[in-house]
Amino acid sequence: MSEEQRPRTERVGPGGDPYPPAQGAPEGGGGDGRLEEVTLDCGWGRLVFGNTFRDPSDAADVLRSEADGARDICVYLDDPHVLVARRHDELFIDPSHTYRLALPAGLGGRLASLEVRELRDEADADAVNRMYTANGMITAPVEVLVANSGRPEFLHLVAEHVPTGAVVGTITGVDHVAVFGDPEGGTSLWCLTVDMNAAPPGTGQALLTELAERFAARGRRFVDLSVLADNAGAIRLYERLGFERIPSLFVKRKNPINEDLFVGPKVHGLDVLNPYARIIADEARRRGVAVEVIDAEWGEMRLTHGGRRHVMRESLSDLTTAIAMSRCDDKRITRRVLADAGLRVPRGVTAGGGEEDEVFLREVGRLVVKPARGEQGAGITVGVETPRALRVAVEAARRHCPDVLLEEYCEGMDLRVIVIDKQVVAAAVRRPATIVGDGRKDIRALIEAQSRRRQAATGGESRIPLDAATEEVVRAAGHSLTDVLPAGEALEVRRTANLHTGGTIHDVTAELHPDIAAACVAASEAIDIPVTGLDLLVPDPSGSEHVFIEANERPGLANHEPQPTVERYLDLLFPGTRGVPRRWVPAEAQGDGGEEP
């Protein structure tokens, strides 16, 4: 049929093992002589003939075995809406109309400049694949196309432009009698497309005419085709040629090729969302969850599925209570809640601005000074060792929050652990922004170049500030911003590993020690929060030693791919959509060739 496109007719036995090829001869258990459980491998995917399956769920199981990068289609299934309703997490009704042309039919439309003939060789198959590619369709292995053309199940035609010898159009017919012994004597057409730059007007109709006449000569009674419901041009063409719409619906699997067909209409404001909100919106739409962007710049959305509705800002949803959010918002409260739960935190006090601050500095030897409330690493000074540096750091923190936390400095890697619904989903070590010398550029230029790369890689979410904190780190390493680093020498230019100030993230989920994982789950329970990003300092994520330093109520889920953070988040919000396969890498959708010239 016009919008779709490995060849082999096969009956699928128990467990999905194929029976020997049917060779078109009626046999098997069908009372009318039809073969049972028939699929036809076409190269771009399989046609699953639903009318040959006694149990529709068996046809669905065949669709589930679809190969990566292929598009399988279940055709002529009785009550397809019932099957899809029961398996809506993985199947959908194709938004196409089915049209039928009674045979014989006088279509006319032959062109003197065209020879419409059967596909013969690899050169023809290469030309067909070029047209498929140009029209956004799925290609098929050349050897499969050539083998198909010699089988009775297929009628694969090409249109050759006589003056140039170029193949400028193609159409594939499937003979249902040869495939499964169809008692209705039907056929169908697929993959009608032309070279839009080289085909003369009327090429599509010439291909249709030849296909219909050849099937009529076999004694077949009709030709069916499928066309997307919004392809008005192609529908006008088929109706003008005498095709009539019939009430037949086809079923497809929710895969990346089909994604545009089942995620619904374009959502206003979707393209404005930052990466942390967009990844959630994309996963929701793939699952059939309706997305409404309330405030794109803020990242606020409303998601609806059935009777459930949630409002969220990125990973912060209405499931997080105000109490839980306040426990994360004030780092002093976070420390107290975690310490009361028996979890490890560094020693810390609230800065008073007097002698007591210096006393605490002398007791612990080295401090981290941070605003009690704030995010993205703003106002934090790491490694304070002198009273003067302490006063400067406290003043810097107070520019962001009047309350300042003094915390014992602990050596270790900066570890972020994502806990969703009391389960550890991802863990990553975050490293401070680092530049590498090339022996030519000075440190300032290297920082600017690295900052541009980080901005480009994160959609503008990450950059390295050229501020006093960066200059101080460079100076502490014995350099100035005008120094030229030797080639290959690495230099950290920030104390903190925050992603928003140019830090990088490295997945360690598989290495995480079970004691740390258990402590993180306990921390989420103590805070009573459904989604959190916990920050810890660890000598080694594969060891058990750790201290907690922060809890975040709105962690960036996009930072942890390929770990399934966004999938588990949607599972939490909409448990009825669980079981949908993991997110896929986007792939081009199969087109229907549009209106034929």
The pLDDT assigned to 34 comes to: 66
Please answer whether residues 500 and 533 qualify as being in contact, where contact means their C-beta atoms are separated by less than 8 angstroms.
Answer: no
- Following DSSP, what letter does each residue of 133-161 receive, concatenated? HHTTPPP--HHHHHHHHTSTTEEEEEEEE
Domain termination residue (choose one: 378, 408, 438): 408
- Following DSSP, what letter does each residue of 11-49 receive, concatenated? EB-GGGPBPPP-TT---SS-TTS--SSEEEE-SS-EEEE
Percent above pLDDT 90 for the chain: 57
CA–CA dist 377, 398 (Å, integer)? 13
Domain that holds residue 136: 8-259
Q: How many domains does the chain have?
A: 2
- Following DSSP, what letter does each residue of 384-449 receive, concatenated? E-SHHHHHHHHHHHHTT-SSEEEEE---SEEEEEEEETTEEEEEEEEE--EEE--SSSBHHHHHHH
Candidates 207, 240, 244; CA nearest to 109 is 207
Percent above pLDDT 70 for the chain: 90
Same domain, 176 and 32: yes
CA–CA dist 425, 319 (Å, integer)? 18
- Following DSSP, what letter does each residue of 488-519 receive, concatenated? T-EEE--SS--GGGT-EEEE-GGG--HHHHHH
Query: What's the whole-model pTM score?
Result: 0.63
443 — phi, psi (to 5°)? -60, -40
Domain termination residue (choose one: 259, 277, 293): 259
Same domain, 253 and 362: no
Q: Would you say residue 426 lies in a domain?
A: no
Domain termination residue (choose one: 259, 274, 304): 259
In this prediction, residue 11 has a pLDDT band, given cuts at 50, 70 and 90, of very low
Q: Would you say residue 545 lies in a domain?
A: no
CATH number at residue 184: 3.40.630.30
In this prediction, residue 32 has a pLDDT band, given cuts at 50, 70 and 90, of low
Q: Output the CA torsion sign for 67, 73, 77, 82.
A: positive
pLDDT tens digits, one per residue of 376-400: 677 888 888 888 888 888 888 888 8
CATH number at residue 381: 3.30.1490.20
Q: Would you say residue 107 lies in a domain?
A: yes
Pick the range with the lowest mean pLDDT from 223-232, 246-255, 537-546, 575-584.
Answer: 575-584
CA–CA dist 66, 499 (Å, integer)? 39
Q: Would you say residue 360 lies in a domain?
A: yes
CA–CA dist 581, 579 (Å, integer)? 6
Q: Where are the beta strands (DSSP E) in 164-277?
A: 166-175, 186-194, 222-228, 244-246, 251-253
Same domain, 223 and 104: yes
Give mean pLDDT, residues 31-41: 79
The helix (run of H) or strand (run of E) holding residue 349 is strand 348-350
